[in-house]
Amino acid sequence: MRARLAVQSAGIQVELREILLRDKAPAFLQASPSATVPCLVTKTQTIDESRDIMLWALAQNDPEGWLDMPDDGFAIIDVIDGPFKTALDRYKYSTRYADADKAAERTVASAHLYGLNERLAGQTFLFGGNPTLADMAILPFVRQFAMTDKAWFDAQDWPHLSRWVEAFLASERFLSIMTKYKIWTDGDPVTHFPDRPSGA
């Protein structure tokens, strides 16, 4: 999701191949050293991490100035990608972990979100009135957390965080990247994303 957000913002059109994780196409397995999604293949490199794909896209073109943020932005991303994401996985998929306590993992993850709520007080995004890489890199993970138990999430005392998440969910930006695509198999024609000429 966040890789698509950055590619879309940069206005770079890519060939998109939707992968079924339980039945990965052989061509995909040849392209991705880690056999994980997302995977971006360029003429010179293969990029397997969504955060790195975001940075690659924005290095080509950053019309919204997502990279124009304080170093704190990268520190926030590190926390969400690290301890928050670990707790999120153990909360959302608690049955996959023999030692996971769903409620305890939710509490661990929530502690990080209260910090974001304080940062968002009085401003639309993490660093002011415009989105940055930090917003768009972590919103998909916060969305996952929220949607695991939306009624519980909505009942918590983090009004600024809730407003930030709801604005994202209602945005054309979010809706446009959530388009469902036909699962790609070897030999199928590719889909272009974004589905408009980029001019790039």
Query: Are 17 and 78 in a shared domain?
Result: no
Same domain flag for 113 and 184: no
pLDDT at 1: 94
Do residue 138 and residue 84 come from a single domain? yes
| CATH number of 161's domain | 1.20.1050.10
Q: Rounded distance, CA 197 to CA 11, Å?
A: 9
**Tally of domains within the chain:** 2
Tell me which residue range forms the domain holding 13. Answer: 2-64+179-189
Tens digits of pLDDT across the chain (200 residues): 999 999 999 999 999 888 888 888 888 888 887 888 899 999 999 999 999 999 999 999 999 999 999 999 999 999 999 999 999 999 999 999 999 999 999 999 999 999 999 999 999 999 999 999 999 999 999 999 999 999 999 999 999 999 999 999 999 999 999 988 888 887 777 788 886 543 33
* Residue among 185, 190, 188 at smallest CA distance from 25: 185
77 with 171, same domain? Answer: yes
CA separation for the pair 84, 198 (Å, rounded): 34
Identify the pLDDT of residue 6: 97
Residue 57 sits in a domain whose CATH number is 3.40.30.10
46 lies in the same domain as 128: no
Q: Measure the CA–CA gap between 160 and 166, rounded to whole angstroms.
A: 10
pLDDT given at position 200 = 35
Q: What pLDDT is stored for residue 199 in this prediction?
A: 39
CA distances from 155 to 97, 161, 162 (A): 27, 12, 10
**Helix and strand numbers, DSSP H then E, in the chain:** 10, 4
Whether residue 200 lies inside any domain: the answer is: no
Same domain, 10 and 39: yes
Q: Does residue 199 lie in a domain region?
A: no
Q: Are residues 44 and 138 in the same domain?
A: no
Q: Which of 60, 104, 57, 50 has its CA nearest to residue 80?
A: 50
Verify that 185 and 166 share a domain, yes or no: no
Contacts of 143 (CB under 8 A, 6+ apart): 165, 168, 169
Let me know whether 9 and 82 are in one domain: no
